[in-house]
């Protein structure tokens, strides 16, 4: 038995061969689960196959109107413009382009 894990299922609790059993940890449900199968050599022993991480899964399908209504709330914010003086002229540029504008990498006269 692995340290920190609950009791391993008894062979009398398992119907059929081979059958995969999932076990939960004692401490927390969000820990990875382990999959155990019966060992072919000794049918009373279980061996660890792999660990599986649990993730949230919706119980039922969300309707198209609810999905689109939820997505409609995801609004992009308008780009904040800041003032910059280049060669004595004032321009408004996005903050992320401020350094490029000061270094002359962007032609601000061509911008519409």
Residue 57 within a domain: no
Residue 63 within a domain: no
Predicted local confidence at residue 57, as pLDDT: 84
The answer to whether residue 35 scores a pLDDT higher than 70 is no
Residue 72 within a domain: no
Predicted local confidence at residue 48, as pLDDT: 59
Mean pLDDT of 39-66: 73
Query: Which of these ranges, 20-29, 46-55, 83-92, 94-103, has the smallest mean pLDDT?
Result: 20-29
Counting the structural domains of the chain, the total is 2
Structural domain harbouring 29: 11-52
Residue 66 within a domain: no
Predicted local confidence at residue 41, as pLDDT: 58
| Per-residue model confidence as pLDDT tens digits over 65-78 | 998 888 888 888 88
Residue 38 within a domain: yes
Task: Quote the percentage of the chain above a pLDDT of 90.
Answer: 5
Residue 59 within a domain: no
Residue 22 within a domain: yes
| Interatomic CA distance for residues 48 and 35, integer angstroms | 6
Predicted local confidence at residue 75, as pLDDT: 82
């Amino acid at each position: 038995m692995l340290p920190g894990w609950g009791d391993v299922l008894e062979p009398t609790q398992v119907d059929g061969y081979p059958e995969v059993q999932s076990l939960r940890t004692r401490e927390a449900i969000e820990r990875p689960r382990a999959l155990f199968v019966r060992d072919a050599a000794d049918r009373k022993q279980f061996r660890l196959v792999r660990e599986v991480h649990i993730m949230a899964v919706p119980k039922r399908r969300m309707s198209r109107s609810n999905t689109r209504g939820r997505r409609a709330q995801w609004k992009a914010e308008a780009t904040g413009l800041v003032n910059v003086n280049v060669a004595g002229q004032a321009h408004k540029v996005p903050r992320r382009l401020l350094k490029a504008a000061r270094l002359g990498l962007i032609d601000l006269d061509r911008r519409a």
